[in-house]
Structure 1
Amino acid sequence: MDVTIFAPSPALTITIEEQDARPDIHIHAGGQGVWQGRMLRRLGVRVTICCALTGETGRVVQRLLEDEGFRVVAVERSGRGAAYVHDRRDGQRTEVAEMDGDPLGRHELDELYGATLREGIASGLTILSGPHGEGALPADTYRRLAADLRTNDVRVVVDLAGDRMTAALEGGVDLLKVSDEELRADGLLEGEDVGSVVAAMEALRDRGARDVIVTRADRPFLVLDGRTVHEVTPPALQTTDTRGGGDSLTAGVCAGLAAGEPLREAILTGAAAGALNVTRHGLGTGEQETIARLRDSVRVRALRGPSADDSDDSHGRVSPDGLAALAEPTDHRPHHEEPAPEDPA
């Protein structure tokens, strides 16, 4: 199983924890694409990360990625790379310092684009992840990459919001994962009930997404899979850090898809991976065997579509349970993910 990740500007992350009343400093490569890739590696998937590595921090990030077993295809350049320092000694993340790094130049972007296209065609499945920093590269890059990859029979998964999501949809994507809060910030969702979210998902499908996952903070997430709407409730576990939960969900789904599973099965691994990740301090981490066992605790309910009842559902009728869910706001059961646009830091 192989997956390519477009991670244009991974970050050097320094996190200060406390152990035995003393500072405990951890240094890792980070950023959305790295966290997705880390979970994919935990699930036994070979991962190629296509990225730009900048200056001193870039050299350190490359070594850290390679030590984790990633295949790194990098455009190397001088300048300032993305990095942050967070202090978690009181149990909460406090930003000490952060820098976005320098934007990609035209020639650097051309090299990175070509490398991602080449590696994506080789793997057959590519995740387009967001950069660390708003100005790292033009949003239209995502439209062009999505279109060119799909033209070459590559499945494209995006976990984006805002202008980058809009651009990717114009190019066409196989699976879009986004949070309801991100949709609300973009003016694409008004209500909080299931019916409003489903309507927004259908609008995203009309704009270029074949399938859609929308996470909803502490509530079950929703999946638009063809004509079927699934409500997915992950196992309720104690939360240590919500960062990386959404990226782990995306990675788990992609691991299933890369293994040839249909989306209905792949979301089980995604839900389990996201749930386990928030119990841990490490972002995008979790044991494969634990995730496999947690799959059995994921609850999936078809709200609409052929699998919602046993009758012919060619017109997308809603099942009795689905009617109730679409008519009323859902309960606020414990859930693994706190929405964070693109989880870039």
Structure 2
Amino acid sequence: MIVTLTPNPSLDRTATVPELRRGEVLRASRVRLDPGGKGVNVARALTAAGTPTVALLPAGGTVGERLAALLAPEGVAVVAVPIAGTTRSNITVVEADGTTTKINEPGPEISPAELAALERRAVELAGRDSWLVCCGSLPAGVPDDFYARLTRLAHDAGAKVAVDSSGAPLAAACAGGPDLLKPNLDELTELAGRPLPLLGDVVDFCRELVAGGVGSVLVSLGARGAVLVDAAETHHAAGPLVAVRSTVGAGDAALAGFLHAGGSGPQALRTAVAYGTAAVAQEGSRMPTPQDVHADAVRLFAADPTVNLSGAAA
């Protein structure tokens, strides 16, 4: 069982335009409305792959109701913790060349009682031999160490924990010793507090994180694939070049693929890259299905420390 926790889910509206021109009135050629939030996306991809998954999230207002309703046709099992605030709505603008611009609302404030209920449900659902996947930003009212605290509680319950976040919550999560950290290149660079221009720099910093108590680190490198670092080995994988329709949710799809394939080792890395590659070929934040994924097209090789990552999309 995999339990995804999304403290700040969203309703995502994606508009496709020929070109984004500041200060002008634009007409969208297509508009999609999707359930959003990193953990929600992971749950969607896992459910489509047939992996038993529960999406845990706070839900408030008509937007929260609509979010849950959109997940129902995809068969995603949802556990919603009611909140007084209204679930946020996000806007994504995708240009003809695949360039993506996102406007994310901050989300509702979570009260201490609502946060306690969310934490309690997470620990109840994430039992022995399961994964608790903590994803995304934290809304107002949630302390930066929320994921670190949840990691310790989940470990006490016998579960493994993956964290995919950024900024202060990601930095604080490392202290909890998660089994898997899933940043992209920009997020890892911010966490390091120094430039990471080469693949060798990325691997070295990941090894620092593992030495500090993180089980393994899966880093999305955009068009350059992903790298996996754990205490025993390091691998780099890259997929074929595809026409990019939207980068929204590509990292979430990669995390779903990694967990679907067992959550460790080089073959799980190949599957992660295959899912991420399939995701960028989808419109909006649509998650790939197994029919979209081609792991046999992903190359797996030893990490070359001299590979220059400049210009790689995160």
Q: Which ranges in structure 1 are unaligned for 5 or more consecutive residues?
A: 304-324, 340-345
TM-superposed CA distance for 1:17, in Å, is 4.0
AA matched with 1:329: V
Residues 1:83 and 1:197: Cα distance change in structure 2 (over 3 Å): same
Q: 1:250 to 1:94 in 2, by over 3 A?
A: closer
Match of 2:115 among 109, 118, 121: 109
Match of residue 342 from structure 1: none
- Matches of 1:332 and 1:238, distance apart in 2: 20
Does the CA contact (< 8 Å) of 2:110 and 2:139 recur in 1?
no
CA distance in structure 2 between the partners assigned to 1:209 and 1:110 by the alignment: 25
State the 1:67 CA deviation: 2.9
Q: CA separation in 2, counterparts of 1:154 and 1:281? A: 34
Are the counterparts in 2 of residues 143 and 170 from structure 1 also a CA contact under 8 Å? yes
Alignment pair present for 1:271 and 2:273: yes
The answer to whether the 8 A contact 1:11-1:29 is kept is yes
Partner of 2:24: none
> Matched residue of 1:171: which SS?
coil
Partner Cα separation in structure 2 for residue 196 and residue 63 of structure 1:
44
1:51 counterpart (54, 57, 81): 57
Whether 2:182 is the aligned partner of 1:177: answer: yes
Whether contact under 8 Å (1:12, 1:57) holds in the other structure is yes
For the aligned residue pairs, the C-alpha RMSD in angstroms reads 2.6
Instruction: Assess if the C-alpha contact under 8 Å between 1:36 and 1:284 holds in 2.
Output: no
How do residues 1-345 of structure 1 correspond to structure 2 at under 5 angstroms?
2-17=1-16, 24-88=30-94, 92-93=99-100, 99-121=105-127, 124-131=130-137, 135=140, 137-257=142-262, 262-291=264-293, 294-303=294-303, 325-326=304-305, 328-330=306-308, 338-339=313-314
For the Cα contact (< 8 Å) 2:32–2:284, is it kept in 1? no
Structure exhibiting the larger radius of gyration computed from Cα positions: 1
Letter in 2 for 1:153: G
Counterpart AA for 1:173: P
The count of residues paired between Structure 1 and Structure 2 equals 305
Deviation at 1:65, TM superposition (A): 2.0
Quick one: percent identity of the two aligned structures?
A: 24
TM-score by length of 2: 0.87
3-state DSSP of counterpart to 2:261: helix
Q: Is the 8 A contact 2:237 2:301 kept in 1?
A: yes
Q: Distance in 1 between matches of 2:309 and 2:58?
A: 43
Contact 2:257/2:271 (<8 A) preserved: yes
Classify the secondary structure of the residue corresponding to 1:257. Answer: coil
Taking the aligned partners of 1:152 and 1:198, their CA distance within structure 2 comes to: 31
Does the aligned pair in 2 maintain the 1:82–1:99 contact within 8 Å?
yes
- Which residue identity does 1:269 align to in structure 2? T
Give the counterpart letter for 2:131 in structure 1: L
Give the structure-1-normalised TM-score.
0.80
Aligned to 1:309: none
Corresponding residue for 1:321? none
Any stretches of 5+ residues in structure 2 without a counterpart?
Answer: 19-26
Q: State the SS of the aligned residue for 1:224.
A: strand
